[in-house]
A and B are shown apart, each in its own frame.
Chain A
Amino acid sequence: MNRRQTLSLLMAAGLGACFKREDGMRIWAMGTEGEKIVPFIDAFNHKTTGPKFRSQALPWSAAHEKLLTAFAADNLPDVIALGNTWVSEFAALDALEPLNQYGIDTSNMFEAAVDNATIDGKLLGLPWYVETRLLFYRKDNLARAGFQNPPQTWAEWEAQLAALGKIGGNHKFGAFMPVNEFEPLVAFCLQSQNQILTHNATKGGFQTNGIKATFAFVKSLYDKGYAAILSGAEAPDLYASFGRGEFTFVITGPWNIAEMRKRLPADAQDKWATAPLPGPTGLGASILGGVSLGINKASTQKTAALELIKELTSVGVQAEFSKATADLPAVKPAWALAGLETDAKAHSFYQQLSLAKAPPKAPEWERIANEMAIAMERVVRGIQSLDEALAGLDDFANDILAKRRYMINLKGNSHE
């Protein structure tokens, strides 16, 4: 029995799951996109002379586990939609076909998104749709505090938050930043000149000056009362309180443009806007997210798979897909076609995406990011000092990344 068979047996016994191989080409995608992709796949099937594709939607909450078990069972689909933080994991599994050899032009895509899908020089997927985090803010509150424009630097932001705190009434807290969300913290860390993970993402860089300063800055927002110390479950309903203007800033992603338009009361609609994140010295970077399309290395029909992912990342299809899902296209020229360029709220995302950076490319990253939020919560709740927390984070990261270091050393030695 070879490795895959052993594993399949274990999976079958352990999960009681049963994977049935079916004929034809398959593509798996997550969430709404997994459902909205159907007409695009139909159109592709209609047009293509090659094999036909079938799409299957996975719920986001179960997708990651499902993809890994499918890999263990040697049953991954031909084309895989991968959350951007999973790319390095599937690179470690050697499950994805490098696309460099196919001469695909990625010059019209957001660089951070292409970078995110590139591991050790290998392009392992094509960015399908992108997201990032930036400021949603209340223009009316800001105007009452005496500011006409959103902040460009940390210092400006702090000054605005301080002024907002003095208005009183409902505007007790300037920013809404639940402590259990790691994205804003990671976004600010990515603005630093130091890296969160150093040495090719094999060691923690939490005690470097830059990261330390970022943690201290975020901590100060809570300490000075600019943001309430809330975890997600305790937090009030975002839309209701933002609609009432109870806070001025929230750092969140593009899906909330549509949500805010839908859920905020009509009289609040012209009172909110979006803006790129402030940075230490000017508009700053943010965390790049989104989904890329990869080709299963074990697929027997790679040409057909390539044809599909090229189609899905072509300008026209990207624009249509964006209209159907409200996602942000990874391909820049599709923005104008989808009518996003004339939309000021979406345009801030264009600006931010051009400044965005890919998070560290280690398979263990998501776990470390979770721990960052937990550490920050301990600090702002006074359970730990900042220095202890950062030392603890370095220990945690170094421990989690031990196997990665071992693997990279192993690979390095075998090349010699």
Chain B
Amino acid sequence: MEITVSPKFLSFCFAALLLSISSAWGGAVTDSPSLKIVATNYPLAYFAERIGGNRVSVNLPVPPDEDPAFWKPNAKAVGVMQKAELVLLNGADYEKWLPRVSLSKFKLADTSSSFKKDFIRIENAVTHSHGPGGMHSHEGIAFTTWLDFDQAAKQAEAVAQAMIRKRPELQTVMLDNLNTLKVDLSALDSQAQALASSKPGVPLLGSHPVYQYLARRYGLNLKSVHWEPNEMPSEEEWAGLRKLLETHPAQWMIWEAQPSSAVIAKLTALGVGTLVFNPSANRPETGDFIEVMKTNLGQLKAAFH
């Protein structure tokens, strides 16, 4: 008996074969175990989540009510970082606890190392001397690097490269996601540039010295004080502010968070308005990094009208 195979059946078999191969390939990509990442601040965690999507599990070990820049990990948190496959560092002296903990160097990714030469050094750092080493200084570096959205894009790129090194099979997906993120960051950068150039040189005040990179990138005429939103500054500090306003007639003070109504009232009496530009170092209660930054730029508009 002769068996005849119809061309339709053959093409069906071929299609089924192609389908099974492609699904096996797709399965191989999607079945990669979830990449365990620890990020030391929210912007990095956000970048990792955007780039990795559901293929990564990102842990930000800093409690929600704490500033990651001043957070110090305990042994348990160090244990969490040791178990991660990748630890994303902001760099720029952000992780001051790093020399005091034991972490695998192969797992660390310093996301700001590519623009190290552009770091802003904090002048007049504490100088002291003891022992045979003579005088030395604990120099500081401004660390809110991501408020310059161009630098933020570079950090996102470093995050992507570190993630790809750990999961090379996800390179295409991650690079696609990185490009989308870079488009968003570029839009923020353009928006901030346009805003700052609409009224260049407007004197501004910063409630805390965290806006150095923002001021440099967008040419803001900004001077900062060390004030906390939930604390009433001393009379000495108010006197200093009044003295400064004589030479730096700012009408707006930028705050990390909404200050108390008493502070707002006192500032209003001096002719200084308040606006919030949240650096978003920790995970926001609502929204994400891009949304928070859009809100920040929206708030900043008031200073340029």
Partners in one complex: no
**A interface residues, Cβ below 8 angstroms from B:** none
